[in-house]
Amino acid sequence: MNTLINTALVVGGGFSGMAAALQLAKLGIAVELVEMDPSWQNYRAGISLSGAMLRALKTLGILEAFMEVGHASDGIDILEADDAFVCRLETPRAAGDGVPGGGAVMRPVLARLLADAIFRAGVEVRIGCTYKSMQPADDGVVVELTDGSRRRYDLVVAADGVESTIREALFPKAPRPRFLGQGTWRAVLPRPAELERTTLWVGPHFKAGLDPVSRDRMYVFFNQNRDPLETIAPEQFGPIFQGLLAGCPSPRLRRLAGQLDGGASIIYKPIEVLLMPPPWHAGRVVLIGDAAHATTPHLASGACMGIEDAIVLADEIGRAATVEAALDAYQARRWERCRLIVENSARLGEIEMHGGDRRAHAQIMQKSFMALAEPI
Ligand SMILES: Cc1cc2nc3c(=O)[nH]c(=O)nc-3n(C[C@H](O)[C@H](O)[C@H](O)COP(=O)(O)OP(=O)(O)OC[C@H]3O[C@@H](n4cnc5c(N)ncnc54)[C@H](O)[C@@H]3O)c2cc1C
């Protein structure tokens, strides 16, 4: 049983919120999680995982389950736009010698692993539910939920994503998410036998990538310069993505164009970035994950940062003398690491958008992977 707090409410059932609920429940805290999406579904795209993410999954206790359903491998191959090999980036084995330095999995599969773990840990989950009001109370927060309940919690964890309404309410002057100037196209396709690891094509003004997500599937993505304010009708997704792949100098990417199925499984998203300056907590409410720092996908580390936030938060709650000290220590341990990932990711995007130095691009990636492998 934890001596600092007895009850916690987690708002948001994404990767960060589920990880926080799990780690706090492990301390013996009675944890409730509210997720406003009644379907509680993660969208059908792949997600790339660094060695640090595999280490985080190990801490959560779901690495073995991941290894059965996802894909893990070492290194990232960088190619020229015409398929010429440039280099293989090293991906340090942060989770231990026996675990590769990276991997990927389908998002709904990872979400399922986390959801199973929080149910096993006894977290009370309310789906299709959110908060109506939050009022600070003595050493806690009184929260009214949309299911009509009203309770006092010792701690509220705001894991409500990049558009966090809790962040806006607590910190009216906090920055808003900023569009980078790139959009990303994604689809899931059959995995060719020869694709063993993440492979990136860094061409002038675009980046494309293939990532195995299981024994027989891979996901393909393409970062393209786009006006963030434009609206693209979903029926255009297929033709646009097909056109982008068909126009690539790379024969390997061109072959994929014919495999896209007219748009049904294609996802387009403008890329945005947010870095909330400290503090990430006010009273007994603390921000984690994209609610505090939403990174662009260029280092494939946003979910990793959110899950690490959850691990560090619970770690500090488990050992600090006061909740305030725990939240300060959480902030101190997370700020520099999250800042580095958000800023380096955005820098990679800038280089891609402006056709910048590809050697510098590879160096930033390599340095960031080394930093990610450092202890948290
Ligand atoms: C194109 C793209 C590609 C990416 N690729 C990668 C990658 O390869 N690897 C990687 O590690 N990261 C990647 N990321 C980043 C990663 O997806 C995010 O950092 C991560 O999903 C954030 O998780 P989260 O739980 O903090 O927020 P979210 O995933 O946004 O979850 C927030 C949850 O809270 C719920 N919610 C919101 N408001 C409320 C409310 N008021 N009440 C109740 N519930 C609420 C939402 O419904 C949602 O379920 C990528 C991001 C993008 C945009």
Q: How far apart are the first and last CA of the chain?
A: 24
Q: How many domains does the chain have?
A: 1
Atom of ligand 1 lying closest to residue 289 CA: 26
In a domain, 127, yes or no: yes
Is the CB of 100 within 6 Å of ligand 1? no
Is the CB of 13 within 6 Å of ligand 1? yes
**336 CB-near residues (< 8 Å, 6+ apart):** none
Q: Which domain holds residue 312?
A: 7-71+106-176+273-351
Is the CB of 306 within 6 Å of ligand 1? yes
In a domain, 123, yes or no: yes
Is the CB of 15 within 6 Å of ligand 1? yes
Q: Which residues of the chain have pLDDT under 50?
A: none
Find, among 51, 57, 55, 52, the residue nearest to 15 by Cα: 57
Atom of ligand 1 lying closest to residue 15 CA: 25
Side-chain-side CA neighbours of 165 within 13 Å: the count stands at: 8
In a domain, 256, yes or no: no
In a domain, 282, yes or no: yes
In a domain, 254, yes or no: no
CA–CA gap between residue 153 and residue 47 (Å, rounded): 33
Is the CB of 33 within 6 Å of ligand 1? no
pLDDT tens, position by position, 342-354: 999 999 999 999 9
Query: Are the beta carbons of 49 and 74 closer than 8 angstroms?
Result: no
**239 CB-near residues (< 8 Å, 6+ apart):** 263
CATH of the domain at 132: 3.50.50.60
Instruction: Point out which residues pair with 46 in neighbouring strands.
Output: 106
In a domain, 151, yes or no: yes
In a domain, 197, yes or no: no
In a domain, 166, yes or no: yes
Is the CB of 105 within 6 Å of ligand 1? no
**Owner of token pair 């870095």:** 275
